């Protein structure tokens, strides 16, 4: 891979000799910065009646230097969120951007983030799981998959709401299946559009897919399965516009049920092995499908009937510490000599 990159670079240099080689647009991340990062598209039902996606998206943007976001798609289904809800959190990010970029030059510009926001399908799929109509969000998934394939990278699609747009994208162009790495949060999300989820399950058995139906709760529940945890809201309050946005979304506590999909990519565990210990959970392979992973039914990992929840809950304290350090970035610029946050991550 590295050799191929160097050859490509050499070719570009030769191509540029004696010509005014066009610079990439200022709003695009540079090729160097995206070379080793996961390419990520999030399909979210942020807005409407789902305040925890607001917290999840504020969290995602605090880690935007670690990932190459290629799409943020509003897939609201029944409860009212829209692409404007994504623009709202990016507006908060824009206020904090001067501070954030002192911590890492890899934070994307707010203009770039706005350029990758797309409206997905508003209505759930009909019983067959796909429809005749596409949407800008669906098209964004297909196009991002093609760009990823050209770059020789997988495209991570994180499903934080219904699978409506993912199903439609796979129906529109089934060839993208080979480049996708899907991590979906199920349960309530699945119920918002079961036809879409079932279509994917039935018609795309080769899809690389972590389907997390209950492990995700380990991010915010206590040992008795209650929505109760040790997150301290003062670690977000007063920490920039993103901190205030995070608190306002759900002032009584942290609940980011969809975030394990992102944690899976930002810890140091092997992204290619869903069975490994990870902040995003550990899963077992579906005995019927080699490319699909599901919640671990081991009773020792079960919390109050939520299979696999302990695979994430055991890292809760470390995850929260890391998030608090990220909110510090939004609050103030990095002063010279300040060490970057280092945490004990699985695989790190």
In the complex, what is the shortest distance from the CB of residue 221 to Ca ion, in angstroms, rounded to a whole number?
Answer: 16
Confirm or reject binding of residue 161 to Ca ion (CB under 5 A).
Answer: yes
Site for Ca ion in 243-272 (CB under 5 A): 258
d(CA 110, CA 144): 19
- Which neighbouring-strand residues pair with 227? 221
Q: Which two tokens stand for residue 18?
A: 């004696």
| Closer to Ca ion by Cβ: residue 45 or 65 | 45
CA distances from 101 to 38, 111, 226, 280, 306 (A): 20, 14, 37, 26, 39
| Closer to Ca ion by Cβ: residue 69 or 160 | 160
| Closer to Ca ion by Cβ: residue 161 or 186 | 161
Binds Ca ion (CB under 5 A): choice among 37, 45, 63, 65: 45
In the complex, what is the shortest distance from the CB of residue 233 to Ca ion, in angstroms, rounded to a whole number?
Answer: 20
| Closer to Ca ion by Cβ: residue 76 or 346 | 76
Binds Ca ion (CB under 5 A): choice among 38, 53, 119, 264: 53
| Closer to Ca ion by Cβ: residue 247 or 256 | 256
| Closer to Ca ion by Cβ: residue 158 or 179 | 158
* Part in contact with Ca ion (CB under 5 A); list of ranges 29-37, 53-61, 206-214, 266-274: 53-61
CA distances from 206 to 83, 171, 176, 276 (A): 30, 14, 11, 21
In the complex, what is the shortest distance from the CB of residue 329 to Ca ion, in angstroms, rounded to a whole number?
Answer: 24
Q: Which two tokens stand for residue 160?
A: 């934080």
CA distances from 253 to 230, 250, 320 (A): 9, 6, 12
Confirm or reject binding of residue 322 to Ca ion (CB under 5 A).
Answer: no
d(CA 312, CA 322): 14
Based on DSSP, count helices (H) and strands (E) in the chain, helices before strands: 13, 8
CA distances from 216 to 124, 180, 183 (A): 23, 21, 11
| Closer to Ca ion by Cβ: residue 11 or 188 | 188
Whether residue 53 contacts residue 80, with contact meaning beta carbons closer than 8 Å, is answered with no
CA neighbor of 302 nearest in space, from 188, 189, 221, 184: 221
Binds Ca ion (CB under 5 A): choice among 63, 103, 107, 160: 160
In the complex, what is the shortest distance from the CB of residue 162 to Ca ion, in angstroms, rounded to a whole number?
Answer: 9
Confirm or reject binding of residue 183 to Ca ion (CB under 5 A).
Answer: no
* Part in contact with Ca ion (CB under 5 A); list of ranges 142-150, 160-168, 174-182, 276-284: 160-168
Residues that bind Ca ion (CB under 5 A): 45, 50, 53, 160-161, 258
């Amino acid at each position: 891979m590295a050799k191929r990159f160097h050859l490509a670079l050499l070719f570009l240099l030769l191509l540029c000799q004696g010509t005014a080689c066009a610079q990439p647009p200022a709003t695009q991340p540079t090729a160097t910065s995206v070379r080793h990062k996961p390419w990520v598209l999030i399909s979210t039902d942020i807005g409407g009646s789902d305040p925890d996606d607001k917290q999840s998206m504020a969290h995602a943007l605090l880690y935007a230097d670690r990932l190459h976001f290629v799409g943020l798609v509003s897939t609201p289904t029944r409860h009212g969120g829209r692409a404007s809800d994504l623009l709202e959190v990016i507006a908060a990010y824009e206020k904090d951007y001067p501070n954030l970029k002192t911590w890492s030059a890899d934070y994307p510009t707010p203009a770039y983030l706005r350029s990758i926001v797309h409206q997905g399908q508003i209505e759930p799929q009909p019983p067959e799981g796909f429809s005749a109509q596409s949407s800008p969000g669906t098209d964004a998934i297909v196009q991002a998959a093609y760009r990823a394939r050209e770059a020789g990278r997988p495209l991570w699609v994180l499903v934080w709401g219904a699978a409506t747009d993912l199903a439609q994208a796979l129906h529109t162009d089934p060839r993208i299946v080979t480049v996708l790495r899907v991590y979906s949060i199920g349960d309530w999300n699945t119920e918002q559009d079961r036809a879409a989820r079932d279509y994917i399950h039935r018609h795309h058995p080769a899809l690389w897919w972590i389907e997390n139906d209950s492990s995700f709760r380990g991010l915010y529940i206590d040992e008795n399965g209650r929505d109760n945890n040790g997150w301290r809201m003062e670690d977000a309050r007063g920490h920039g516009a993103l901190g205030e946005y995070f608190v306002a979304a759900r002032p009584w506590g942290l609940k980011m049920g969809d975030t394990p999909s992102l944690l899976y990519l930002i810890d140091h565990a092997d992204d290619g092995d869903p069975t490994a210990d990870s902040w995003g959970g550990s899963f077992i392979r579906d005995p019927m499908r080699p490319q699909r992973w599901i919640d671990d039914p081991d009773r020792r990992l079960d919390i109050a009937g939520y299979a696999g929840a302990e695979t994430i809950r055991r890292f809760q304290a470390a995850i929260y510490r890391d998030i608090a350090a990220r909110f510090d970035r939004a609050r103030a610029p990095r002063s010279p000599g300040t060490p970057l946050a280092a945490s004990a991550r699985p695989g790190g």
